[in-house]
Amino acid sequence: MSAKLRERAFLLGARKSLVGVITEGADTGAAADRPTIVILNAGIIHRVGPGRLTVLLARALAAQGFTVLRFDLSGLGDSEARSDGLGLLEATLADIREALDWLESTRGARRIVLAGLCSGANYSLLYAGTDPRVVGVALLDPATPRTRRYYIHHYLPRLFRLRVWLNLLRGRHPGVKRIARSLAVRGDEAREGWMPNLQGPEVHAELERAYQGALAQGTQFFMAFTNGLEDQHNYREQVIDAFPNVPFRNRLRLEYFETADHTFTSAADRVRLFSMLGEWARDTSFATTPAARPGA
């Protein structure tokens, strides 16, 4: 780590049960005029992120004059599990609110950019519209329903591959194997392994409401998609096509990494991502003051 950066660990939340690390530059003057960036866990991975992605991202942003908090949600990494019986989503949203409350009460931070990869992106989106302190979100591979254009991109090239047809005839195609596995799973096991269906109308409507709610309060968006989740998205504008009723207009910077895997393993892809995200965070005109205090 550069000598010009500082990192300190803190206990956050009402019960001091959330463990987080603040990364900032030695000169905090510039950071005072900029939003604080909060990076959430990616899946069940510790706050360092996959391949230290979160650590390196936090340091890259701090070197550009931002204060960055990365913390473990309840029950992940070094943070204790909650004891209030909240469900996973409710507990996660409560954790985020407690972290933002801590930033406001201890550091005077009232403008926040939430960032995350995969589930961290999804939680950032779902929380954003519920708290006016969130002036921006940086979403890396957020959940995105498939579109008609997705299926064209996905299936059209495969129609001309002899190997695909041979695998279908021999029962070796991944699609055939998935159907066989699903038929072999008992009902109880299927329910235990259930995941939200992005093509289902309920999930689509919930995501649409989340986007609309965040935009309604002035939230700015940075979104980066990778080729690493080809079974979910496979072209740059898919999120726009998937949500035609969401008025992104000029409040969305959209990037697509055609050669990157889901966790941006390549050093070149990480450098590109950090540069783009930092540029967006520096050049975007975020809301100056939240309109109202967040609700309970």
Q: Report which of residues 26 and 43 the model is more confident about.
A: 43
State the pLDDT confidence band at 295, using cuts at 50, 70 and 90: very low
Burial-class residue 7 by CB neighbours within 10 Å (0-12, 13-18, 19+).
Answer: middle
| pLDDT tens digits, one per residue of 84-108 | 989 999 999 999 999 999 999 999 9
- pLDDT for the residue 287: 82
Q: Collapsing DSSP states into helix, strand and coil, what is residue 64? A: coil
- pLDDT for the residue 199: 73
- pLDDT for the residue 143: 94
Mean pLDDT of the chain: 86
Question: DSSP state, 73?
Answer: P
Section 185-207 average pLDDT:
62
Chain centroid to Cα 87, Å, comes to: 20
- pLDDT for the residue 178: 44
pLDDT of 208 over the 60 cut: yes
Domain 5-146+200-283 in this protein, CATH class: alpha beta
**34-64 as b/e, with b when 16 or more CB fall inside 10 Å?**
bbbbbbbbbeebbbbbbeebbbbbbbbbbbb
| pLDDT tens digits, one per residue of 129-156 | 999 999 999 999 999 999 999 999 878 6
Q: Report which of residues 174 and 196 the model is more confident about.
A: 196
Name the residue ranges covered by the structural domains of the chain.
5-146+200-283, 148-197
